[in-house]
Amino acid sequence: MADQAAASRPARAWARPAVGLAVVLLVALGALAAVAARGPAPASTPAERVHAIATGLRCPVCRDLSVADSPAPLAQQMRNQIAEGLAAGKSPEAIRREFVAAYGESVLLVPARRGVGLVAWVAPALLLAGGVLAAVLAVRRWRARGAAPAASSPSAPGTSRADKVLLERALARFEDPP
Amino acid sequence: MDRLGRYALLLALALAAWGLLAAVVGLRRQRPLAVESARTTAFALLAVVAAANGAMLAALLSDDFTLRYVAQNSSRATPTFFKVLALWSADDGSLLLWNLVLAGYLAAVAFRFRRYRPEALPGALAVMYAVAVFYLLLVSGPSEPFATLAAPPDGRGPTPLLQNHPLMAVHPPFLYLGFVGLTVPFAFAIAGLVSDGLSDRWVALTRRWTLAVWCFLTVGLLLGALWSYSVLGWGGYWAWDPVENAALLPWLVATALLHSVMLQERRGMLAVWNLSLAVGAFALATFGTFLTRGNVLLSVHTFATSSVGPMYLGFLVLVLAGGFGLIATRAWRLRAPGRIDAVLSREASFVGNNLLLLTLTFVVLLGTVFPLAVEATSGRQVTVGGPYFRRTTVPLLLLLLFLAGVGPLLPWRSGSAGRLTRRLRLPLGASAALVLVLAVGGLRNPAAVAAFGLATFVGVANLAEIGAGLRVAVRTGSRRRPAAALGALLRGRRRYGGLLVHVGLALAALAITASSTLARQTDLTLSRGASAGFAGYTLRYEGMRTLRQPQRTVLVTDVGVAKDGRDLGRMSPSLNLYPSASEPIGTPSIRTSPLRDLYASVVGVEQEGERATFRFFLNPGVTWLWVGGAVMVLGGLLAVWPTRRPPAAPRPAVPSARRREPAVVDRG
């Protein structure tokens, strides 16, 4: 195989391109970090400020569209209400509170980060963390097995996949459940 | 017609029950004759279910309003094309189509394995017949497509949204082909589990079936997005609607399965995991139809109420308990000691792929059922909408993109850093250059910059892989260049198909990023003859026309479009007034170009069209979403196309002496 040949070459043969790649990667990550540090553009025009609030509100008559997206007349009214609120100097949070008071908590398109709503935010992170842990442990176990003397493993090189399945199946008939 | 339909469904139920019985007897008692009967019954079942569908179609076309379904979903004025579509535009009818697709898959399995009978065939037939019995029970009990009533003079007509666009002709059938198709890998997986030999051959037997089903699902999802974009008039194509999510879930799991079965085929690993994925994909497809038909949700997709919910729930519990119960009690014997030689290997990248896809599935499922769960337990109403899904899925999707670029560059078993470095040079360079340009150019959304960079990385990496493979073939091949390249492409169709899917994914990711972060929109109210500027375009309201059609009245507004003083023609967004709908339904008008779409929808008209309010969008790159999707499906089809050379699967022990046709082998 070509990669075996490459691996057996002296380390310096690939060290130079690797350094080059590392520099390229660093430049890209640096640019990304700069973008992140600069932060999103502040909503400057009144229309943009209305839009920013409206995307977080549910259009009460259409369920799956935000107030910003919905073409429904009620959504238009709500956008006007947001614009009036902003013109009167209210903060976005105060405007959101007004809508919650009028339409209930379900007018917010995102569950609150407290109470039951917290579950929706924490569960994905917990699952991902658990999954990463399980995957890392599994890969480590599989690698350790790869390093162990091959003869003791049924997946020793030279054993074809078909042989292995047959062997597994035969063994399974004699083993007791764990 | 109602009698014909009803009797056909009862006969179908009897046939399915017979098929189930024969398959079980054939399995338990080792009776080849019973298996043969179960196999051939599938063709009869298909014919009878087709007859039931034909009866409904005939009733729809002949305005037979004694049928409740026809009276509710069609009318005399409905154009013939939409009368045909009414077959699947409401719950009861779509369950008929569902049954037809299921019977079609049963017949396809029966036909495919007419000569070569794998050990798992009787069990798989039994599972598929059991599923068919359930769906046929649904249409002969709780859902009654052929229920009659005293005929009203005219029907109500289809739901306006559904008779507004011809895409409705293809979107649901493709999704059904995908959803129902997941029964096949599920059935063979279960059959392997219950058989005495406890085989895991289902992976090899159903690999191409799963791939074809994945193609159907992809097409169905794309058509749904296209329908949303060209009908709903909100300028977008994906609203994280619960029903859209329900269709996405099986696709995610099927994608995970297609990747992880390769670990089982190549290295004998993850046998139990793959069984769980097959069961999970089928369960999620069932769950999706339960969500839509069980009237659990109120969304654009829930058009009718029906009482099939509890039955679905029972079936779902049975599938989950049965499937995972079997896995828990029997599958441990299939476990093979897994082995990985290096972290920098294809194997490890597939583990990462499955981890991310499954987490993504969980997040989408959680967000979809969370409001239902909260309401059921505490009575409070919460909403989980687009912003939640974007915030939770985008990081996972970015990581997946990264893997879609790196994974194919990593060799099986163990990769060497040197080889990887060489293969990374071009894609990483291109992607870094783009990121730098975007950052200097002033793009201020880090997720968008990262997504553009990663999508470029995926596209270039996979294209370069295809190119490198074909170059070797051309250099070493004796034939002329194009022929050698094409030959190599077809010989390695599985590999090149997969790489092509990734190229399509990169295009789609670019399009999604561009359209979701760089789009602009404005609301404009214009008097007749007035014009306004938007994103460099001059938009002039020229007036309104009224078109009277038999089934609706269409208010067409004409907007002249000009850019830099050059006339670009006219856009005509319209409002459709249906007698059965209180609100008008809009039809947007879209000027598509490779780089950007100008999208206009009319929100309202006043004073007989003297003034109109419009919503204009400038959506960059949406075209490439459809192109990318098409490339993905093309890649899937390339990989699914049958190989002439039979792989080393055991041939039937006794060749049939009476076989007349030449033995064209299409196995796999």
| pLDDT score at B295 | 54
Average pLDDT over every residue of A111-125: 87
Question: Collapsing DSSP states into helix, strand and coil, what is residue B606?
Answer: strand
Least confident of A13-22, B165-174, B204-213: A13-22
Q: How far apart are CA B283 and CA B296, in angstroms?
A: 17
B443 → chain A, closest CA residue: A35
| Chain A nearest C-alpha distance from B343 (Å) | 8
**Closest Cβ opposite residue A110 in set B333, B388, B417:** B388
What is the token pair recorded at B516?
A: 């979701």
Q: Which residues of B touch A168 (CB under 8 A)?
A: 333-334, 336
| pLDDT score at A177 | 38
- pLDDT of residue A113 exceeding 80: yes
Place B300 in a pLDDT band, splitting at 50, 70 and 90: very low
Q: How far apart are CA B452 and CA A28, in angstroms?
A: 12
Most confident of the following: A118-122, B359-363, B656-660: B359-363
Place A2 in a pLDDT band, splitting at 50, 70 and 90: very low
Q: Which residues of A touch B198 (CB under 8 A)?
A: 169, 172
**Closest Cβ opposite residue A58 in set B267, B385, B415:** B385
What is the token pair recorded at B184?
A: 């096949």
Length of chain B: 668
Which of the two residues, A14 and B114, has the higher pLDDT score?
B114
Q: How far apart are CA B668 and CA B665, in angstroms?
A: 10
What is the token pair recorded at B451?
A: 């997504």
Position A170, amino acid: A
| Chain A nearest C-alpha distance from B555 (Å) | 16
Q: How far apart are CA B584 and CA A119, in angstroms?
A: 39
- If you ran DSSP here, which 8-state letter would residue B119 be given? T
Q: What is the CA radius of gyration of chain A?
A: 29
A64 → chain B, closest CA residue: B241
Question: Collapsing DSSP states into helix, strand and coil, what is residue B340?
Answer: coil
Q: Helix B446-476 vs helix B386-406: angle between axes, to the nearest 10 degrees?
A: 30
| Chain B nearest C-alpha distance from A147 (Å) | 8
| pLDDT score at A117 | 85
Share of chain B above pLDDT 90, in %: 49
Closest CA to A175 of B339, B332, B196: B332
Residue in this structure with the two tokens 């975007």, named with its chain if needed: B438
| H-state helical runs in chain A | 2-8, 12-38, 46-54, 73-87, 92-103, 117-147, 161-174
Q: Which residues of A touch B345 (CB under 8 A)?
A: none
For residue range B39-86, list pLDDT tens digits in order.
999 999 999 999 999 999 999 999 989 998 998 888 888 888 989 998
How many Cα atoms within 13 Å fall on the side-chain side of residue B455?
Answer: 21
Question: Collapsing DSSP states into helix, strand and coil, what is residue B553?
Answer: strand
Contact A105 B382 (CB under 8 A): yes
| pLDDT score at A150 | 42
CA separation, residue B308 to residues B142, B313, B314, B321, B599 (Å): 6, 9, 10, 20, 39
For residue range B434-476, list pLDDT tens digits in order.
999 998 888 888 899 999 999 999 999 999 999 988 888 888 7
Cβ within 8 Å of residue B109, ≥6 positions away? B42, B121, B124, B125, B128, B184, B187
Question: Collapsing DSSP states into helix, strand and coil, what is residue B117?
Answer: coil
For residue range B179-217, list pLDDT tens digits in order.
999 999 999 999 988 876 666 788 888 889 999 999 999
**Closest Cβ opposite residue A116 in set B333, B378, B396:** B378
Contact A127 B359 (CB under 8 A): yes
| pLDDT score at B268 | 79
Position B312, amino acid: Y
- pLDDT of residue A55 exceeding 80: yes
Least confident of B56-65, B134-143, B211-220, B638-647: B638-647
CA separation, residue A66 to residues A107, B113, B385, B389, B568 (Å): 9, 50, 8, 13, 32
- If you ran DSSP here, which 8-state letter would residue B331 be given? G
Least confident of B118-122, B144-148, B353-357, B478-482: B478-482
| Chain B nearest C-alpha distance from A27 (Å) | 7
| Chain A nearest C-alpha distance from B668 (Å) | 16
B353 → chain A, closest CA residue: A135
Average pLDDT over every residue of A95-115: 87
Q: How far apart are CA B576 and CA B165, in angstroms?
A: 12
**Phi-psi category of residue B285: left, alpha or beta, with phi > 0 → left and psi -120 to 50 → alpha:** alpha
| pLDDT score at B231 | 86
Question: Collapsing DSSP states into helix, strand and coil, what is residue B616?
Answer: strand
For residue range B150-161, list pLDDT tens digits in order.
888 888 888 777
Place B663 in a pLDDT band, splitting at 50, 70 and 90: very low
| pLDDT score at B668 | 35
Which of the two residues, B412 and B649, has the higher pLDDT score?
B412
Contact B381 A105 (CB under 8 A): yes
- If you ran DSSP here, which 8-state letter would residue B619 be given? E
- Max distance between CA atoms of chain A, in angstroms, equals 80
- pLDDT of residue B249 exceeding 70: yes
- pLDDT of residue B608 exceeding 80: yes
A178 → chain B, closest CA residue: B332
Contact B339 A153 (CB under 8 A): yes
Burial class (CB in 10 A: 0-12, 13-18, 19+), B567: exposed
**Closest Cβ opposite residue A32 in set B298, B300, B450:** B450
Place A106 in a pLDDT band, splitting at 50, 70 and 90: confident
- On average, the pLDDT of chain B sits at 86
Place A171 in a pLDDT band, splitting at 50, 70 and 90: low
Whether the Cβ atoms of residue B521 and residue B534 lie closer than 8 Å to each other:
no
| H-state helical runs in B30-120 | 32-61, 68-73, 80-85, 91-112
Least confident of B242-246, B298-302, B656-660: B656-660
Q: Which residues of B touch A24 (CB under 8 A)?
A: 428-429, 432
Q: Which residues of A touch B236 (CB under 8 A)?
A: 69
Whether the Cβ atoms of residue B107 and residue B43 lie closer than 8 Å to each other:
yes
Contact A71 B234 (CB under 8 A): yes
Which of the two residues, B549 and A6, has the higher pLDDT score?
B549
Taking one residue from A and the other from B, the number of pairs with CB-CB distance under 8 angstroms is 222
| Chain B nearest C-alpha distance from A90 (Å) | 23
Whether the Cβ atoms of residue B465 and residue B404 lie closer than 8 Å to each other:
no
- pLDDT of residue A169 exceeding 70: no
Q: Using DSSP bridges, classify how beta strands B552-563 and B537-549 pair: parallel, antiparallel or unpaired.
A: antiparallel
| pLDDT score at B160 | 77
Buried b (16+ CB within 10 A) or exposed e, B381-415: ebbbbbbbbeebbbebbbbbbbbbbbbbbbbebbb
Closest CA to B605 of B538, B515, B664, B527: B527
Burial class (CB in 10 A: 0-12, 13-18, 19+), B591: middle
Average pLDDT over every residue of B278-299: 78
Whether the Cβ atoms of residue B156 and residue B75 lie closer than 8 Å to each other:
yes
Average pLDDT over every residue of A86-108: 88
Closest CA to B92 of B213, B6, B221: B6
| pLDDT score at B662 | 39
User: Which residue of A142, A166, A176 is the best one to mutate when testing the B interface, meaning the one whose CB has the most B CBs within 10 A?
Assistant: A142
| pLDDT score at A175 | 46
Least confident of A137-141, B48-52, B360-364: A137-141
Most confident of the following: B345-349, B376-380, B661-665: B345-349
Share of chain B above pLDDT 70, in %: 93
Closest CA to B600 of B623, B621, B625, B570: B570
CA separation, residue B2 to residues B8, B9, B51, B141, B307 (Å): 10, 11, 12, 15, 20
| pLDDT score at B667 | 38
| Chain A nearest C-alpha distance from B125 (Å) | 24
Average pLDDT over every residue of A141-163: 57
Cβ within 8 Å of residue B600, ≥6 positions away? B539, B559, B571, B573, B588, B589, B590, B614, B615, B616, B617
DSSP H or E stretch at residue A114: none
Burial class (CB in 10 A: 0-12, 13-18, 19+), B60: buried
pTM as predicted: 0.88
User: Which residue of B205, B229, B345, B355 is the best one to mutate when testing the A interface, meaning the one whose CB has the most A CBs within 10 A?
Assistant: B355
Q: How far apart are CA B662 and CA A147, in angstroms?
A: 50
Q: How far apart are CA B553 and CA B411, in angstroms?
A: 61
| pLDDT score at A47 | 83
- pLDDT of residue A151 exceeding 60: no
Contact B239 A65 (CB under 8 A): yes
**Closest Cβ opposite residue B268 in set A7, A104, A165:** A165
B453 → chain A, closest CA residue: A28
Cβ within 8 Å of residue B646, ≥6 positions away? B665, B667, B668
For residue range B376-427, list pLDDT tens digits in order.
787 788 888 888 999 999 999 999 999 999 888 888 877 677 778 888 889 9
Cβ within 8 Å of residue B255, ≥6 positions away? B214, B357
What is the token pair recorded at B654?
A: 């006794």
Query: Torsions phi, psi of B120, nearest 5?
Result: -85, -5
Whether the Cβ atoms of residue B261 and residue B278 lie closer than 8 Å to each other:
no
| pLDDT score at A165 | 66
Contact B197 A169 (CB under 8 A): yes
Q: How far apart are CA B662 and CA B668, in angstroms?
A: 18
What number of other Cβ atoms are within 10 A of residue A46's Cβ? Answer: 12
